[in-house]
Amino acid sequence: MDKIRIVGGAPLNGVIPISGAKNAALPLMIGSLLTKETLTLENMPLLADVTQLERILGNHGVDFSISGKRRGETENAGRTVHFTAREIVDTTAPYELVSRMRASFWVFAPLLARMGECRVSLPGGCAIGTRPVDLLLMALEKLGAKIDIENGYVVGSARNGLVGGDITFDKVTVGGTHVALMAASLARGTTVLRNAAREPEIVDLADCLTKMGARISGAGTSTIEIEGVTSLSGARHTVMPDRIEAGTYAMAVAMTGGDVLLAGARADLFQAAVDALVAAGVKVTETNEGLRVSRNGSGLAAVDVTTAPFPDFPTDLQAQFMALMTRAKGVSRITETIFENRFMHVQELARLGAHIRLDGDTAIVTGADHLEGAPVMATDLRASVSLVIAALAARGETTINRVYHLDRGFERLEKKLSDCGAQIERISGHG
């Protein structure tokens, strides 16, 4: 398995291009199942999860082609991918494909809406908690679907098509909101989603579906109304910039010092995290090209954060912010309210010299004078990148094992960081 080797201590200076958002790209790709026509997605990131979902969609009959780069385009411009689901050849999503990536379970909604039937494997476990699918299935039942669970598969049928309904989520669910948006777009009549997720990725999906002919109002608020249509057409849509990647690199600059332009980043997509960085003493400036993040030699101040659904502090930046707080002056409290088991990076950060004590769903971080390089192990995507941030500021050399997690969510991480002066390299392993 590949490892990443980092020698800490170098400040970051330069430009880091922000890729298209993974968490927007995946539901947009799944939305291609809703139409016979071609859906063209621009600014697609090149990530392991995207490649895996292309395989899953191919299993259902989706053809995809990648546009070549135009002359004058840099390698940092995202790919343009065309998805065409002219006919659905298989309405079953097998365990061996779904088990590798939870988001692939969402194919349930467009298959059911378009074909009136589907059979999708339950996704299985996940390193950061249970993430149940019951809210997704409840939403589809409210649209008239009949749902059974047989031998580890969820079997859905709506022989006469889905019918609009009133769906109230008892807790905010991004997956449930994505699924309901897709299914309701082809349901007869009007659907109202209450307590819907407000994440920017929801807005991105709604914008794309609207271009395809869906009638959606209220995306980005907690009440979304969808007036069903009989069919959707193809469209062309640009994937939004990745707010989690932007936040991650902003924290890396804050950790090491330096001055970096995050090209294409937008503060409004992760304002709560930007506010936390500013409170810690980091300078964040919006420009026409993106966000400029800088920190001179002054120290970091301790800041308390609590994760919560958008627009509050994102759970997907919690590990990275904790890494940053290991070097802050004073004591910070980081509370995780979204996922259980999301503190698995704590013991690995401790190997680098971090002082962190857990108290239920809160991590109490006492800033250390310095961190020391050490061999560490990545446990999940966000945990692994928090170790990168810590290693960039640690004395000496850190080796991060199991970096395949990183490839799921960060495009060309080593190149983006090394282009700004980080001493970072990937060591290819075998077996």
Mean pLDDT, rounded, for 180-197: 98
pTM across the whole model: 0.95
Tell me how far apart the alpha carbons of residues 337 and 56 are, in angstroms, rounded to a whole number.
31
Tokens 């800088």: give the residue.
Answer: 294
Cβ atoms of 27 and 209 within 8 Å: the answer is: no
Mean pLDDT, rounded, for 4-18: 98
Tokens 């170098």: give the residue.
Answer: 10
What pLDDT band is residue 342 in, cutting at 50, 70 and 90? confident
Question: Tokens in use for 328?
Answer: 């802050």
Would you state the pLDDT for residue 3?
Answer: 95
From the list 130, 102, 101, the residue with the least C-alpha distance to 340 is: 130
Would you state the pLDDT for residue 208?
Answer: 98
- Give the contacts of 79 (CB within 8 A, at least 6 positions apart): 43, 44, 45, 46, 66, 67
Residues 24-41: pLDDT tens digits?
999 999 999 999 999 999
Share of residues in the chain with pLDDT > 90 (%): 87
Burial of 194 (0-12, 13-18, 19+ CB in 10 A): exposed
Q: For domain 3-19+241-427, give its CATH number from 3.40.50.2300, 3.65.10.10, 3.40.50.720, 3.30.70.2740.
A: 3.65.10.10
Would you state the pLDDT for residue 171?
Answer: 93
Would you state the pLDDT for residue 340?
Answer: 80
Mean pLDDT, rounded, for 92-114: 93
Would you state the pLDDT for residue 225?
Answer: 98
Residue type, 290: G
Using the 8-state DSSP alphabet, how is residue 161 labeled?
-
Cβ atoms of 98 and 125 within 8 Å: the answer is: no
Would you state the pLDDT for residue 176?
Answer: 96
2-6, 212-216, 245-249, 381-385: least confident range: 381-385
From the CB of residue 58, how many other CB atoms can be counted at a distance below 10 Å? 14
Mean pLDDT, rounded, for 141-150: 96
Phi, psi for residue 46 in degrees, rounded to 5: -100, 95
Per-chain mean pLDDT for the chain: 94
Would you state the pLDDT for residue 137?
Answer: 94
The CATH classification number of 22-238 equals 3.65.10.10
Residues 201-240: pLDDT tens digits?
999 999 999 999 999 999 999 999 999 999 999 999 999 9
pLDDT at residue 125 tops 90:
no
- H helical segments located in 308-355: 318-325, 346-351
Tokens 């199991």: give the residue.
Answer: 402
Q: In what order do the strands lie in the sheet with 305-306?
A: 305-306, 331-335, 362-366, 355-359
pLDDT at residue 75 tops 80:
no
Two domains, one topology: 3-19+241-427 and 22-238: yes
- Of 118, 126, 208, 420, the catalytic one is 126
Tell me how far apart the alpha carbons of residues 166 and 247 are, in angstroms, rounded to a whole number.
35
Would you state the pLDDT for residue 74?
Answer: 54
Q: Are strands 397-401 and 423-427 parallel, antiparallel or unpaired?
A: unpaired
Q: Is 118 a catalytic residue?
A: no
pLDDT at residue 18 tops 80:
yes
Residues 351-382: pLDDT tens digits?
999 999 999 999 999 999 999 999 999 988 88
First and final C-alpha spacing in the chain: 6
Would you state the pLDDT for residue 131?
Answer: 56
Tell me how far apart the alpha carbons of residues 285 and 376 are, in angstroms, rounded to a whole number.
34
What pLDDT band is residue 338 in, cutting at 50, 70 and 90? very high
Residues 401-410: pLDDT tens digits?
999 889 999 9
Would you state the pLDDT for residue 198?
Answer: 98
Tell me how far apart the alpha carbons of residues 408 and 173 are, in angstroms, rounded to a whole number.
22
Tell me how far apart the alpha carbons of residues 168 and 230 are, in angstroms, rounded to a whole number.
24
Question: Tokens in use for 414?
Answer: 């080593």
Q: Specify binding-site residues.
A: 22-23, 102, 131-135, 316, 338
From the list 362, 427, 422, the residue with the least C-alpha distance to 389 is: 422
Residues 280-312: pLDDT tens digits?
999 999 999 999 999 987 899 999 999 999 999
Q: Where are the domains of the chain?
A: 3-19+241-427, 22-238
Tell me how far apart the alpha carbons of residues 9 and 372 are, in angstroms, rounded to a whole number.
11
Q: Specify binding-site residues for phosphoenolpyruvate.
A: 22-23
Q: Specify binding-site residues for UDP-N-acetyl-alpha-D-glucosamine.
A: 102, 131-135, 316, 338
pLDDT at residue 128 tops 50:
no
